[in-house]
Amino acid sequence: MGGSRLRHGQPLARGARVLGTVCLGVLALACLGWIIRDLSEAHDVTDVWWLWTGLTYRAEGGVWVGSGLDFLLLMIYVVSAAVTLRSSSAAGILASTGVATIALRLPSVWTFDADQLSGIEDTLRTQTQVTTYGSLALGVALIVTAMLGRRPPEADNYGNQAEQAPLRPRPGPAVVAALLLGFAGLSLGAWQVYYLTDVSWEAYEEALVGDQGLVSLLDVPAAWTAWTLVLLCLAAAGAAVVRATFARPLGLVAAGFALVSSIFSVAAAGKQELMEHLADLPTDVRLSLLNELVLCVAALAVLFVLGYAPPRFGPTGNQPPYPPYAAGGSGPAAYGGYGGYGGQGSGYGGPPPPSGW
């Protein structure tokens, strides 16, 4: 138990950070490549956008490869790669990204043979299969790197910790994030339960693990996508409640997923002019659209409180990130009066404690 806590308080080694960044770069290039391919096959560039929202448009080549999830994953990979090398939460970033990658690529393993995707040329089908299995392998590599790449923080010449250990979120932002992510997960889960009771299990199973409604080779069943988001939101909410060191990266991934998903849903509703006739729609459709709008706002709020609120203290949640004061003296003991000059009673006082909630 103590060893597990210790490892959670250890930063990711430099080599592990580099390896994780390389994996993220490869994953990002794969997503970007398929997005560019779809843009080149579209009658109009906007057709790809509407495809991402779930509306069906015909490609020049007869088939689409990517989906809105490729755009989502591309954003996650780019942001994660940009901060992994310098973030104290690098392990949480890699693990959260790896989990999202596996969850969103796994259905493609069994949906390549969907009836509506039949007739695809073998070369294209093989390339998308390589993307799927390669993404799964890299997702696993990210998680393993996050688990095994930790090591104790290095010390500088004065014996002080030279790099920052993974930080817990501050209490205020953690509470806000937990409430909003919990609401998002529970509301989305409730809607999936409603859809399940509204149709037969056979129909819902098709939307969960079947090929119903797939419009591209790398598309994911709608119910599978929804439950993936539900579990990510609830897991992130739980991590925020206990202020785990991985709460911020997991919460940001879940909130980004929720934001992109709700934007796509609202955009599709707008394209179909549902918003203009909201009063004429069935009650469940109106409530569903309103829920998407609320989720969009909630996701933006989570991104703000977790992305911009500075962490409070170190991995224990109650230790300041600066050296402790010497008993009976005014200068930090770890510095010995700033390099030993002036003795224990001289020098300047330590920095004021960080302001927070």
In sign, the C-alpha dihedral spanning 58, 60, 66, 68 is negative
Cβ pair 215, 64 in contact under 8 A: yes
DSSP 8-state class, residue 158: T
pLDDT at res. 167: 77
DSSP-assigned beta bridge partners for residue 161: 155
Cβ pair 74, 25 in contact under 8 A: no
pLDDT at res. 318: 44
* pLDDT score of 347 more than 50: no
The single-letter code of the amino acid at 309 is A
Locate 321 and state its tokens: 């990130």
12-26, pLDDT tens digit by residue?
A: 888 999 999 999 999
User: Band of the pLDDT at 333, cuts 50, 70, 90?
Assistant: very low
Rounded (5°) CA angle 151-17-107: 110
Q: Which of 290, 310, 298, 289 lies closest to 353 in space, CA to CA? A: 310
User: Band of the pLDDT at 118, cuts 50, 70, 90?
Assistant: low
What average pLDDT does the chain have?
A: 82
pTM for the structure as a whole: 0.81
Locate 67 and state its tokens: 């989906």
Distances, alpha carbon 313 to alpha carbons 28, 70, 94, 252, 321, in Å: 32, 35, 22, 19, 6
* pLDDT score of 248 more than 90: yes
Q: Considering the chain, what percentage of its residues have pLDDT values greater than 70?
A: 76
Cβ pair 153, 11 in contact under 8 A: yes
Q: Which of 214, 212, 208 lies closest to 227 in space, CA to CA? A: 208
DSSP 8-state class, residue 215: -
pLDDT at res. 158: 45
Lowest mean pLDDT: which of 148-152, 196-200, 327-331? 327-331
User: Band of the pLDDT at 315, cuts 50, 70, 90?
Assistant: very low
DSSP 8-state class, residue 27: H
Lowest mean pLDDT: which of 232-236, 285-289, 309-313, 340-344? 340-344
159-186, pLDDT tens digit by residue?
A: 444 456 677 888 899 999 999 999 999 9
* pLDDT score of 222 more than 50: yes
pLDDT at res. 314: 46
* pLDDT score of 223 more than 90: yes
* pLDDT score of 264 more than 90: yes
Which residues does 175 contact at the CB level (< 8 Å), separation at least 6? 240
Q: Considering the chain, what percentage of its residues have pLDDT values greater than 90?
A: 55
Query: What is the biggest distance separating any 2 CA atoms in the chain, rounded to whole angstroms?
Result: 81
Which helix H or strand E contains 211, and what residues bound it?
none
